């Protein structure tokens, strides 16, 4: 039960996909949690499910006609646009995403979306090939950049028989995403936060490098969570294939040395640092300017140490809160505490990367947050976005100097 949804005005937009029937559960769940729900259906959606279902569940008429008039003086798309605290389109087809991203407003749902100042969210559901089509991907990226929230589809067997990404997200995840929007605190407003993410690359020659499997997901989730809580976020990132979170300043780097320089430049003006990048500890002593040829049976590489960025931040620390990360394969607590002390950190997030659900490539994480006072807080297995919010919650609770009296 999410009390945060109580008395919120939520417009559910339903578009024409087979998952339209699942919107009944969304409406029903929102109503049970005390929200007020009005439903807009497209003509195509009505081919899949009857408006009567939603009228019954929401206790309100279902809107679909551009030219019907609910009141004597207001037209529906304007009154619904003003009434809504959130408009959530679920399921959202490639068509509605394409239309909104190009400013097309040719039916009640698109005109309402165009006219609203409320947050608009999309829960896409479509065939995997459609979802992966570069046109759809570009439309999603463009909308994300403009602040529209996307609730990613799940993977699984689709109605068309294909298996892959494109299944409407689980109902609970959709409800949670709407609730998260309402409970999004602005407790980092006015704070500058530095986040590092992803791997580094240590070049051997122009076409070869030493790196690690970090995907950057954890760091990007932290950056996005901080931004959603009002922070001015500066994300220094190694090479990853993730879209930059909305409203975050991005600095792309490749090597540990480049990361070191950018981080040191930004550090003095930041109040909090989340150092989640998987930095290469060593780099080749010599960089070959031309591609190395396989002339010899053996090739010996001599590696030299890279700067320990976090350790340097610890040395130069004034009143910043420093949060380090320790990805370990054994002796988790012991190694993490050692790093916390040696690098003069305030907190360290320790996780055992050999555990299923807590590794580099996973969408979830689980771990321990250890404080410099010796407190250990277990963070359960959560998706990386929620894990990020939990880390921030716990860090803020224990960092009185970060708490803004105005919030």
Positions that interact with ligand CTP (CB under 6 A): 256, 275, 277, 279, 281, 306, 308-310, 324-327, 339
Q: Closest approach of Cβ 188 to ligand CTP, in Å?
A: 20
Give φ, ψ of 13 to 5 degrees: -95, 130
Of 326 and 370, which CB lies nearer to ligand CTP in the complex structure? 326
How far the first Cα of the chain sits from its last, in Å, is 25
Closest by CA to 143, choosing from 121, 126, 125, 166, is 121
Of 116 and 306, which CB lies nearer to ligand CTP in the complex structure? 306
Q: Closest approach of Cβ 349 to ligand CTP, in Å?
A: 8
Of 40 and 391, which CB lies nearer to ligand CTP in the complex structure? 391
Of 137 and 341, which CB lies nearer to ligand CTP in the complex structure? 341
Cα 208 from Cα 283, distance rounded (Å) = 12
Collapse the DSSP code of 385 into the 3-class scheme (helix H, G, I; strand E, B; otherwise coil) and give the result. Answer: helix
Q: Closest approach of Cβ 53 to ligand CTP, in Å?
A: 51
Q: Closest approach of Cβ 299 to ligand CTP, in Å?
A: 24
Cβ atoms within 10 Å of 118's Cβ, excluding its own: 20
Residues 168, 145, 256, 286: is their CA dihedral positive or negative? positive
Cβ atoms within 10 Å of 170's Cβ, excluding its own: 14
What is the DSSP track for 291-342? PPP--SS-----EEEPP-HHHHHHHH-SS-EEEEEEEESS-HHHHHHHHHHH
Is residue 226 annotated as a catalytic residue, yes or no? Answer: no
For residues 324, 327, 328, 332, the Cα torsion angle rounded to the nearest 10 degrees is 50
Give φ, ψ of 253 to 5 degrees: -130, 165
- Write out the H or E segment, with its range, that includes residue 260: helix 256-266
Q: Which residues of 217-234 are buried (b: 16+ CB within 10 A; e: fewer)?
A: bbbbbbbbbbbbbbbbbb
Chain length of the chain: 407
Q: Closest approach of Cβ 269 to ligand CTP, in Å?
A: 19
Of 54 and 387, which CB lies nearer to ligand CTP in the complex structure? 387
Facing residues of 28 across strands?
none
The residues, ordered by sequence, that sit 6+ positions from 331 with a Cβ below 8 Å of its Cβ are none
Catalytically annotated residues? 160
């Amino acid at each position: 039960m999410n009390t945060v949804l109580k008395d919120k005005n939520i417009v559910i937009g339903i578009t024409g996909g087979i998952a339209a029937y699942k919107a009944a559960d969304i409406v029903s769940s929102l109503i049970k949690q005390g929200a007020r729900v009005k439903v807009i259906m497209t003509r195509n959606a009505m081919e899949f499910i009857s408006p009567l279902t939603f009228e019954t569940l929401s206790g309100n008429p279902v809107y679909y006609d551009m030219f019907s008039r609910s009141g004597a003086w207001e037209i529906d798309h304007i009154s619904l646009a003003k009434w809504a605290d959130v408009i959530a389109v679920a399921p959202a087809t490639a068509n509605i995403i394409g239309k909104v991203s190009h400013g097309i407003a040719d039916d009640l749902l698109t005109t309402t979306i165009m006219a609203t100042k409320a947050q608009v969210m999309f829960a896409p559901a479509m065939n995997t090939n459609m979802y992966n089509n570069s046109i759809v991907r570009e439309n999603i990226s463009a909308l994300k950049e403009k602040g529209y929230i996307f609730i990613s589809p799940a993977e699984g067997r689709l109605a068309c028989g294909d298996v892959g990404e494109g299944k409407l997200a689980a109902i609970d995840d959709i409800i949670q995403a709407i609730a998260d929007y309402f409970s999004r605190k602005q407790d980092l407003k006015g704070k500058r936060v530095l986040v590092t993410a992803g791997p580094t690359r240590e070049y051997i020659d122009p076409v070869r490098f030493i790196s690690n499997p970090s995907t950057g997901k954890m760091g990007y989730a932290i950056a996005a969570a901080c931004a959603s809580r009002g922070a001015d976020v500066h994300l220094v990132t190694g090479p990853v294939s993730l879209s930059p979170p909305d409203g975050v300043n991005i600095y792309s780097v490749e090597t540990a040395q480049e990361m070191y320089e950018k981080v040191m430049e930004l550090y003095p003006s930041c109040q909090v640092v989340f150092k989640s990048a998987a930095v290469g500890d060593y780099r080749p002593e010599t960089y070959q300017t031309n591609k190395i040829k396989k002339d010899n049976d053996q090739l010996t590489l001599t590696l030299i140490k890279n700067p320990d960025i976090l350790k340097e931040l610890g040395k130069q620390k004034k009143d910043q809160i420093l949060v380090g990360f320790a990805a370990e394969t054994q002796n988790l607590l012991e190694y993490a505490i050692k790093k916390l002390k040696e690098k003069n950190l305030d907190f360290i997030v320790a996780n055992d990367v050999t555990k299923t659900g807590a590794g580099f490539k996973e969408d979830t994480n689980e771990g321990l947050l250890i404080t410099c006072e010796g407190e250990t807080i277990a963070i359960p297995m959560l998706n990386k976005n929620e894990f990020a919010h939990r880390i921030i919650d716990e860090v803020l609770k224990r960092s009185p100097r970060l708490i803004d009296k105005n919030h």
